[in-house]
């Protein structure tokens, strides 16, 4: 059994889940999710239940067994490479192939923000990362139709808590440069904006482009937005794993995905694909 800790927003939850899936598959064993952290975590909710993913939730006893085993053996464990321990905590912010040597009966804690761990599972992931039908409301279906019929570009603006935490945010110059670049390849496009700062987007984009702000609409939630982003033909992402997944899940054959330079300063160094465009 592999247990992976799940915490953070949808983007981080997906990295944790699929890294755990990969390790479990390599060991031909089961995967369980430890979601107990959400009991005291107020920023986000557990969201993986909104998609067509297979998993089991780890019980308190499941976690205690693995962590107790680690405690008993800690005298030996501390001399082992970190990826050979029962309690495996992320230590690097780049791809580490040693992590694929993690053995059965391990507990995983980290963000594991790199698709190289599960890239060979891409087709399977694309088939699974669809909304559970009970969460496909009429508002979502209407927006989906519009996105599919247009030359759609998703544009993600994350500010909100980033400003509170003094995290760098993407400038309007970045977004304008990205739109100018895409306009050289695509005509008559429509920009679908996903954001946690609607007023900033209204102030900076309204009247300049053919835009529609998705965020803030009634009965549209983060899990709807992730799927809608992925259905756009092209993506302008921010320094956020949420919109990274929106781009990565985009299966359009001629897609253009643009990401900001500042994202490399705060996310995994191996996170961005070679064919993506850095601005």
Tell me, what's the pLDDT at 121?
94
Is the same domain home to 38 and 168?
no
Asked whether residue 253 is domain-assigned, the answer is yes
Summarize the chain as % helix, strand, coil (round to 5).
Answer: 45, 15, 40
> What pLDDT digit, counting tens, does each position of 187-237 carry?
889 999 999 888 989 999 888 889 999 998 999 999 999 999 999 999 999
Q: Pick from 78, 96, 122: which residue ends a domain?
A: 122
| Domain end point (choices 122, 155, 177) | 122
**pLDDT given at position 1:** 92
Are residue 187 and residue 157 in the same domain, yes or no? yes
88 and 157 assigned to the same domain: no
Residues 178 and 269 reside in one and the same domain: yes
Number of H helices, E strands in the chain: 11, 11
Q: Choose one of 103, 122, 141: the last residue of a domain.
A: 122
pTM of the full predicted structure? 0.93
Asked whether residue 193 is domain-assigned, the answer is: yes
112 and 143 housed in the same domain: no
List pLDDT tens digits, range 54-75.
899 999 999 988 887 555 566 6
**Structural domain includes residue 271:** yes
* Count of structural domains, the chain: 2
Phi, psi of 66 (to 5 degrees): -70, -45
pLDDT at 141: 96
Q: What is the pLDDT of residue 76?
A: 63
- What whole-number distance in Å separates Cα of residue 202 and Cα of residue 66? 50
Is 127 within the bounds of a domain?
no
Q: Quick one: 106 and 150 in the same domain? A: no
Q: Which domain holds residue 52?
A: 2-122
Q: In this structure, are 32 and 85 located in the same domain?
A: yes
Same domain, 141 and 273: yes
How many angstroms from the chain centroid is the CA of residue 252?
18
**Are 150 and 111 contained in the same domain?**
no
Q: Are residues 18 and 147 in the same domain?
A: no
Q: So what's the pLDDT on residue 70?
A: 59
Q: CB atoms < 10 A from the CB of 163, how many?
A: 14
Distance CA 79, CA 82 (A): 9
Rounded to whole angstroms, what are the CA distances from 17 to 29, 66, 221? 15, 18, 20
Q: Are residues 113 and 181 in the same domain?
A: no
Confidence (pLDDT) at 165: 65
Residues 138 and 79 in one domain: no
Residue ranges in the chain whose pLDDT is less than 50: none
């Amino acid at each position: 059994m592999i247990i992976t800790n799940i915490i953070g927003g949808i983007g981080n939850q997906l990295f944790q889940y699929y890294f755990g899936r990969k390790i479990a598959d390599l060991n031909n064993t089961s995967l369980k999710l430890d979601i107990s952290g959400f009991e005291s975590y107020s920023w986000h909710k557990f969201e993986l239940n909104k998609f067509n993913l297979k998993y089991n939730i780890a019980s308190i006893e499941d976690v205690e067994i693995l962590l107790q085993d680690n405690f008993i053996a800690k005298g030996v464990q501390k001399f082992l490479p970190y990826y050979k321990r029962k309690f495996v905590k992320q230590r690097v912010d780049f791809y580490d192939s040693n992590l694929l040597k993690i053995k059965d009966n391990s507990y995983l804690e980290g963000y594991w923000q790199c698709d190289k761990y599960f890239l060979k599972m891409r087709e399977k992931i694309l088939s699974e990362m669809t909304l559970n039908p009970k969460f496909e409301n009429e508002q979502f279906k209407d927006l989906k139709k519009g996105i599919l019929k247009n030359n759609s570009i998703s544009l993600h603006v994350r500010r909100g808590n980033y400003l509170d935490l003094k995290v760098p945010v993407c400038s309007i110059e970045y977004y304008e440069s990205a739109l100018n670049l895409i306009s050289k390849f695509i005509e008559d496009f429509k920009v679908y904006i996903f954001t946690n700062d609607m007023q900033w987007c209204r102030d900076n984009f309204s009247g300049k482009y053919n835009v529609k702000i998705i965020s803030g609409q009634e009965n549209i939630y983060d899990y709807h937005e992730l799927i809608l982003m992925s259905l756009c033909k092209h993506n302008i992402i921010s320094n956020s794993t949420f919109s990274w997944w929106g781009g990565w899940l985009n299966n359009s054959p001629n897609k253009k995905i643009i990401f900001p330079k500042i994202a490399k300063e705060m996310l995994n160094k191996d996170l961005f694909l070679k064919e993506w465009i850095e601005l």
